[in-house]
């Protein structure tokens, strides 16, 4: 208690000087300012309102211009509420509630001084003996007994309220504010007797965050005033912003110094990045009302805003309820351009029609008008008039003016002021019922109306602690518009906000703004927010319809990851491309999907390629159709040859070339062609087994037969040069057997390979985005499996080269030679091609098919076409000849070709002699070659 009194004395000492100035009646007259108004009553309720704005010049008088809405309207709302209570004779047993209403001038220091009036009686009244008049006489005590206030309604601006609350708590005076939203005021350890009918700014910060999130504004600037309202509001906003990852581009703490404001606005514009799509376009505004006009003016100037420049990127203000929509100064002149599109929060309230009626009925001269001295000042200011003019004066008379109905925009917090007064009255009523239960209203009509009730003693000294905790916090009542009013345990009101958007009506001429320019676009309460975006300014005619961007960086396109520019700056990033096979585990990390897996379209996951697009040869693709076409033609051609051969089976040409081997050759060719169909089929273990054995075997049959053919001729000729002894194993049976044996080696090898590595399929990944179904043996192993065939080709080629000049059977060896050279070329080029196109299984398979078919084609064309030509077109050559040559040759031929078909030998010899004749005619040069010798021997 001692410390409380010490503090009070300290405050009193500090404010003494100022109190003396403002108590000076000359001061009042020279400035025309009314310090307070007093309404007598049994119980006095205090009131503090910003009847005047803060003075522009801090050195001079603390009060500025009269504030119509936040000041005078609120004072009248309090008086009106008291009238309503006083009119109820049975409420509070008919005690009359009086008022002591002070003007805070929106200035905390001044308001603190003013508030001393609330506690003057508690800190002692003046002692007349201490004073002496100028003429030496003792002054008379003019003191009129003052009553302590039981509670105070106010202040409005948090900076003022905090100061007053600090004083009132010392004297345990309860305070109920209808407008102060500073979050600290909920702290009951500091403001034990403070309550309010409005919520804490912590909710307002959350509402702002929700609005920002709704429009995806993740990068905003923050401007706050250097006072209790701005600083606490900004703190709450920053805290909420951190929670939801909204970044603050720049924070500007502003004072009313013009130069500082200019610098702050330049910084905001820098962060707005007017030339770029991104930037902190939204500026959150937590400032007291007096900062806004200058802020708008300077913004318009710094940004060189001119009307009609709609495309220009402008700041979008997201303002707290400190923004007064009734203040025309905000939107005067070019300020309007700066304010356009602002989103403004307002505490949800309803108009009070009965109050509006009351206010509109006020007119100079009426009691209700005259009790509020500030109304006179307002009238003079508003109607530019004078009171009490002499009758002859032609100056505009204030008495003639009334508040015009159509022009009346009551303050938005009228409802809260009335609620605050009602709350105190209800608490007093509840208290009276407890502390003076027997102090009841007289039942007889006469005594009820003849006697002014005395206040029961316990009610004359109200202990704030009891009054606040026991009665005020527990009040529950319905206000004038039917809203249920009650306080939270911290003494706060409920948090409901209306979201407004400033959309100046362009049709209206002139610069003045009015309330109609603020369009209600939504609401916010703790559990829900509604915003009708179609009503937003940017959705109006002429706008592009999209919410503006307020982001540091635009979202990365799909498949890109965020690369944070600073580790702790989560809103600004560059975009880095992920590899095609990577997916995003989070916004900043690309991760490899792994072999055979591919990212989904949205890049959030991976899928198995094999399940979606497993690749293998398909019948309907050109890669299959073309080789299959080749193969079909090849098979048909081979079949035609077979048919012709069968048809001419007994003719010399067919017989002489060794029918068995010819048929083996033809069947091998069909096998070769057929391999195409195996290769283009979907790989299965069976298909793979056929592929691994079939290709090698078909080739081995083909080249084994050719090898046997060339080898036989070579052996015959080399033998013939040495002796007349015929070489062994040249009979058809032996030829076939040798062929079968040679081909069998390949078959055996392949089967053994199948046994060691059982056939199967596997997934191959030639590229990251492909999964190919293929046989389970690698390409090089397949190539090794053809090594034996290659050896046969080489041998065959060697023998073909050796016997290339043997004219036997129409130069058959020569044609075999051609066939073998071409085959070598085909095989070599295929090998290079096969490994060169390793990444494309389709090209690889197609090339293999075509190469196999080509090998067969080459053999078919080179070996069989000369014979077919003779069979079909030179039939005269394909007959048995009965001439001498035949007889001459018969014996020696027989001796050479043991057991060869006689007819064939005869015919063959006949043809051979014919051939020889032609070749000796063609070449005049002697041919002393082994070949001719061999021929001689052979024949
Ligand atoms: N909520 C503001 C403050 O706490 C006051 C707004 C008003 O008076 O309407 O400073």
Q: Is 157 in the pocket of ligand 1 (CB under 6 A)?
A: yes
The candidate with the shortest Cα–Cα distance to 220, out of 228, 209, 229, is 209
Distance CA 182, CA 195 (A): 12
| Residues 6+ away with beta carbon under 8 Å from 47 | 75, 78, 99, 100, 101, 102, 152, 153, 154
Q: Is 182 in the pocket of ligand 1 (CB under 6 A)?
A: yes
Give the pLDDT confidence score for residue 515 in this predicted structure: 72
Residue written as token pair 């030179």: 874
- What value does the mean pLDDT take over residues 325-337? 90
**CB of 871 closer than 8 Å to CB of 657:** no
Distance CA 123, CA 918 (A): 152
159 C-alpha to ligand 1 centroid (Å): 9
Distance CA 117, CA 108 (A): 15
321 C-alpha to ligand 1 centroid (Å): 7
Q: How confident is the model at residue 145 (pLDDT cuts 50, 70, 90)?
A: low
Q: Nearest C-alpha to atom 6 of ligand 1 is from which residue?
A: 322
Ligand 1: which of 289, 326, 412 to mutate, judged by most atoms within 8 Å of the beta carbon? Answer: 289
Ligand 1: which of 69, 158, 207, 235 to mutate, judged by most atoms within 8 Å of the beta carbon? Answer: 158
Give the pLDDT confidence score for residue 422 in this predicted structure: 96
Per-residue pLDDT tens over the stretch 626-636? 999 999 999 99
The answer to which of 252-261, 711-720, 802-811, 814-823 has the lowest mean pLDDT is 802-811
Q: How confident is the model at residue 112 (pLDDT cuts 50, 70, 90)?
A: very high
Q: Is 47 in the pocket of ligand 1 (CB under 6 A)?
A: no
Per-residue pLDDT tens over the stretch 455-484? 888 888 888 999 999 999 999 999 999 999
Q: Is 70 in the pocket of ligand 1 (CB under 6 A)?
A: yes
177 C-alpha to ligand 1 centroid (Å): 10
- What value does the mean pLDDT take over residues 530-556? 83
Higher pLDDT, 6 or 168: 168
Higher pLDDT, 15 or 925: 15
Q: What is the 8-class DSSP label of residue 766? A: S
Give the pLDDT confidence score for residue 928 in this predicted structure: 35
**CB of 716 closer than 8 Å to CB of 935:** no
The residues pairing with 397 across neighbouring beta strands, listed in sequence order, are 386
Q: For 733, how many CA atoms within 13 A lie in the half-sphere containing its CB?
A: 5
Q: Per-residue pLDDT for 183 more than 60? A: yes
Q: Per-residue pLDDT for 793 more than 80? A: yes
Q: Tell me how far apart the terminal alpha carbons of the chain are, to the nearest angstrom.
A: 149
Q: Which atom of ligand 1 is nearest to the CA of 320?
A: 1
Ligand 1: which of 176, 285, 322 to mutate, judged by most atoms within 8 Å of the beta carbon? Answer: 322
Q: How confident is the model at residue 506 (pLDDT cuts 50, 70, 90)?
A: low
The first and second tokens of residue 302, run together, are 């710094």
Q: Is 229 in the pocket of ligand 1 (CB under 6 A)?
A: yes
Q: How confident is the model at residue 709 (pLDDT cuts 50, 70, 90)?
A: confident
- What value does the mean pLDDT take over residues 489-515? 78
229 C-alpha to ligand 1 centroid (Å): 8
Give the pLDDT confidence score for residue 800 in this predicted structure: 84
- What value does the mean pLDDT take over residues 119-127? 67
- What value does the mean pLDDT take over residues 772-786? 86
The answer to which of 11-25, 490-504, 698-712, 919-933 has the lowest mean pLDDT is 919-933
The residues pairing with 561 across neighbouring beta strands, listed in sequence order, are 576
Q: Which atom of ligand 1 is nearest to the CA of 411?
A: 9
Q: Which atom of ligand 1 is nearest to the CA of 198?
A: 1
Q: How confident is the model at residue 514 (pLDDT cuts 50, 70, 90)?
A: low
Give the pLDDT confidence score for residue 570 in this predicted structure: 86
Give the pLDDT confidence score for residue 509 in this predicted structure: 45
Give the pLDDT confidence score for residue 55 in this predicted structure: 86
The answer to which of 198-212, 420-434, 831-845 has the lowest mean pLDDT is 831-845
**CB of 347 closer than 8 Å to CB of 416:** yes
DSSP labels for 460-493? HS--HHHIIIIIITT--EE-TTS-EE---TTSPP
Q: Per-residue pLDDT for 105 more than 60? A: yes
Ligand 1: which of 72, 107, 321, 497 to mutate, judged by most atoms within 8 Å of the beta carbon? Answer: 321
Give the pLDDT confidence score for residue 566 in this predicted structure: 79
Give the pLDDT confidence score for residue 710 in this predicted structure: 83
The answer to which of 148-152, 154-158, 539-543, 899-903 has the lowest mean pLDDT is 899-903
Range with top average pLDDT, 685-699, 797-811, 815-829: 685-699
Give the pLDDT confidence score for residue 449 in this predicted structure: 56
Per-residue pLDDT tens over the stretch 816-854? 888 888 888 888 888 887 777 666 788 888 988 998 999
The percent of residues above 70 in pLDDT, for the chain, comes to 83
- What value does the mean pLDDT take over residues 222-251? 94
Q: Per-residue pLDDT for 243 more than 70? A: yes
Q: Per-residue pLDDT for 758 more than 90? A: yes
- What value does the mean pLDDT take over residues 345-365? 95
What Å distances lie between residue 8 and 1, 150, 171, 403, CA to CA? 11, 18, 9, 42
Higher pLDDT, 852 or 804: 852
324 C-alpha to ligand 1 centroid (Å): 9
Distance CA 376, CA 382 (A): 10
Q: Per-residue pLDDT for 15 more than 50? A: no
- What value does the mean pLDDT take over residues 419-427? 96
Q: Nearest C-alpha to atom 10 of ligand 1 is from which residue?
A: 157
Q: How confident is the model at residue 452 (pLDDT cuts 50, 70, 90)?
A: low
The answer to which of 331-340, 802-811, 817-826 has the lowest mean pLDDT is 802-811
Give the pLDDT confidence score for residue 904 in this predicted structure: 38
Q: How confident is the model at residue 311 (pLDDT cuts 50, 70, 90)?
A: low
Q: How confident is the model at residue 804 (pLDDT cuts 50, 70, 90)?
A: confident
Summary mean pLDDT of the chain? 83
Element (H, E) at 259: helix 258-272
pTM: 0.70
- What value does the mean pLDDT take over residues 268-275? 88
Q: Is 156 in the pocket of ligand 1 (CB under 6 A)?
A: yes
Task: State whether residue 44 is helix, strand or coil.
Answer: strand
Q: How confident is the model at residue 308 (pLDDT cuts 50, 70, 90)?
A: low
Q: Is 181 in the pocket of ligand 1 (CB under 6 A)?
A: yes
Q: How confident is the model at residue 810 (pLDDT cuts 50, 70, 90)?
A: low
Q: Nearest C-alpha to atom 5 of ligand 1 is from which residue?
A: 157
**CB of 519 closer than 8 Å to CB of 539:** no
The percent of residues above 90 in pLDDT, for the chain, comes to 51
260 C-alpha to ligand 1 centroid (Å): 23
Higher pLDDT, 928 or 864: 864
Ligand 1: which of 77, 161, 229 to mutate, judged by most atoms within 8 Å of the beta carbon? Answer: 229
Q: Which atom of ligand 1 is nearest to the CA of 182?
A: 4
**CB of 425 closer than 8 Å to CB of 92:** yes
Q: Is 179 in the pocket of ligand 1 (CB under 6 A)?
A: yes
- What value does the mean pLDDT take over residues 533-551? 79
Q: Per-residue pLDDT for 917 more than 60? A: no
Distance CA 818, CA 313 (A): 82
- What value does the mean pLDDT take over residues 95-121? 91
Give the pLDDT confidence score for residue 656 in this predicted structure: 77
Q: Which atom of ligand 1 is nearest to the CA of 227?
A: 10
What Å distances lie between residue 888 and 736, 909, 935, CA to CA? 30, 10, 13
The candidate with the shortest Cα–Cα distance to 860, out of 639, 606, 693, 658, is 639
Q: How confident is the model at residue 233 (pLDDT cuts 50, 70, 90)?
A: very high
Q: Per-residue pLDDT for 10 more than 50? A: no
């Amino acid at each position: 208690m001692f410390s409380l009194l010490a503090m009070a004395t300290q405050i009193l000492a500090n404010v003494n000087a100022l109190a003396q100035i403002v108590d000076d009646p000359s001061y009042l007259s020279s400035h025309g300012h009314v310090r307070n108004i007093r309404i007598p009553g049994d119980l006095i309720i205090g009131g503090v309102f910003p009847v005047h704005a803060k003075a522009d010049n801090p050195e001079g008088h603390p009060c500025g211009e009269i504030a119509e809405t936040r000041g005078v309207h609120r004072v009248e709302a309090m008086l009106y509420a008291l009238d309503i209570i006083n009119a109820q004779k049975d409420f509070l047993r008919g005690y009359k509630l009086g008022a002591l209403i002070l003007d805070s001038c929106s200035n905390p220091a001044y308001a603190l001084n003013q508030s001393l009036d609330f506690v003057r009686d508690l800190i002692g009244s003046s002692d007349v003996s201490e004073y002496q008049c100028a003429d030496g006489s003792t002054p008379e005590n003019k003191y009129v007994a003052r009553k302590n206030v039981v509670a105070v309604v106010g202040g409005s601006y948090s900076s003022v309220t905090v100061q007053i609350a600090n004083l009132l708590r010392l004297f345990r005076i309860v305070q109920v504010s209808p407008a102060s939203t500073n979050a600290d005021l909920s702290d009951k350890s500091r403001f034990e007797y403070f309550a309010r009918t409005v919520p804490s700014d912590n909710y307002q910060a959350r509402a702002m965050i929700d609005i920002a999130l709704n429009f995806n504004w993740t990068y905003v600037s923050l401007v706050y005033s250097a006072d209790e309202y701005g600083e606490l509001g900004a703190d709450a906003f920053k805290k909420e912003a951190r929670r939801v990852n909204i970044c603050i581009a720049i924070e500007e703490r502003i004072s009313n110094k013009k130069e500082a404001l200019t610098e702050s606005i330049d910084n905001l514009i820098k962060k707005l990045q007017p030339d770029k799509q991104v930037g902190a376009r939204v500026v959150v505004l937590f400032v007291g009302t007096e900062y806004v006009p200058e802020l708008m003016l300077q913004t318009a100037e710094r940004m060189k805003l001119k009307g009609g420049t709609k495309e220009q990127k402008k700041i979008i203000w997201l303002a707290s309820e400190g923004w007064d929509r009734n203040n025309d100064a905000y939107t005067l002149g070019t300020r309007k351009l700066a304010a356009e599109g602002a989103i403004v929060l307002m505490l949800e309230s309803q108009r009070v029609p009965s109050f509006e009626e009351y206010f509109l009925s006020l007119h100079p001269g009426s009691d209700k008008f005259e009790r509020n001295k500030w109304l006179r000042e307002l009238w003079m200011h508003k109607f530019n008039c004078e009171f009490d003019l002499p009758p002859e004066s032609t100056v505009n008379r204030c008495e003639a003016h009334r508040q015009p109905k159509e022009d009346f925009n009551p303050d938005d917090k009228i409802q809260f002021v009335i609620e605050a007064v009602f709350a105190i009255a209800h608490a007093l009523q509840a208290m009276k019922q407890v502390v003076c239960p027997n102090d009841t209203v007289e039942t007889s009509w006469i005594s009820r109306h003849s006697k002014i009730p005395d206040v029961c003693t316990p009610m004359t000294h109200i202990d704030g602690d009891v009054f606040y905790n026991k009665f005020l916090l527990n009040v529950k009542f319905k206000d004038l518009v039917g809203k249920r009013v009650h306080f939270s345990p911290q003494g706060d009101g409920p948090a409901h906000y209306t979201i407004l958007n400033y959309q100046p009506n362009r049709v209206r001429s002139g610069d003045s703004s009015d309330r109609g320019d603020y369009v209600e676009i939504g609401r916010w309460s703790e559990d829900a927010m509604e915003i009708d975006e179609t009503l937003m300014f940017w959705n109006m005619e002429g706008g592009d319809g999209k919410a503006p961007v307020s982001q540091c960086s635009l979202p990365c396109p799909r498949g890109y990851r965020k690369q944070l520019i600073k580790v702790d700056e989560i809103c600004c990033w560059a975009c880095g491309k992920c590899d095609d096979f990577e997916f995003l585990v989070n916004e900043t990390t690309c991760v490899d999907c792994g072999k055979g897996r591919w990212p989904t379209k949205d890049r959030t996951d991976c899928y198995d390629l094999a399940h979606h697009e497993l690749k293998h040869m398909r019948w309907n693709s050109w890669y299959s159709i073309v080789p299959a076409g080749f193969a079909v033609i090849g098979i048909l051609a081979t079949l035609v040859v077979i048919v012709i051969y069968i048809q001419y089976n007994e003719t010399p040409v067919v017989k002489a070339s060794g029918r068995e081997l010819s048929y083996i050759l033809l069947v091998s060719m069909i096998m070769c062609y057929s391999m195409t169909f195996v290769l283009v089929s979907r790989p299965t273990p069976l298909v793979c087994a056929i592929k691994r054995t079939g290709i090698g075997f078909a080739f081995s049959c083909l080249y084994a037969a050719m090898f046997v053919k060339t080898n036989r001729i070579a052996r015959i000729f080399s033998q013939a040069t040495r002796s007349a002894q015929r070489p062994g194993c040249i009979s058809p049976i032996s030829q076939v057997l040798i062929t079968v044996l040679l081909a069998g080696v390949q078959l055996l090898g392949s089967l053994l390979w199948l046994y060691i590595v059982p056939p199967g399929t596997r997934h191959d990944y030639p590229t990251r985005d492909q999964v190919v179904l293929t046989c389970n043996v690698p390409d090089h192993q397949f190539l090794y499996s053809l090594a034996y065939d290659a050896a046969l080709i080489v041998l065959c080629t060697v023998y073909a080269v050796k016997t290339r000049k043997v004219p036997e059977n129409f130069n058959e060896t020569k044609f075999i030679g051609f066939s073998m050279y071409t085959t070598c070329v085909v095989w070599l080029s295929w090998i290079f091609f096969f490994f060169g196109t390793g990444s494309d299984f389709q090209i690889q398979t197609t090339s293999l098919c075509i190469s196999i078919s080509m090998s067969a084609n080459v053999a078919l064309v080179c070996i069989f076409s000369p014979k077919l030509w003779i069979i079909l077109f030179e039939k005269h050559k394909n007959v048995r000849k009965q001439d001498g040559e035949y007889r001459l040759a018969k014996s020696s031929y027989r001796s050479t070709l043991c057991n060869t078909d006689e007819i064939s030998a005869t015919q063959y010899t006949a043809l051979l002699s014919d051939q020889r004749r032609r070749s000796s005619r063609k070449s005049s040069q002697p041919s002393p070659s082994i070949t001719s010798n061999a021929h001689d021997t052979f024949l």
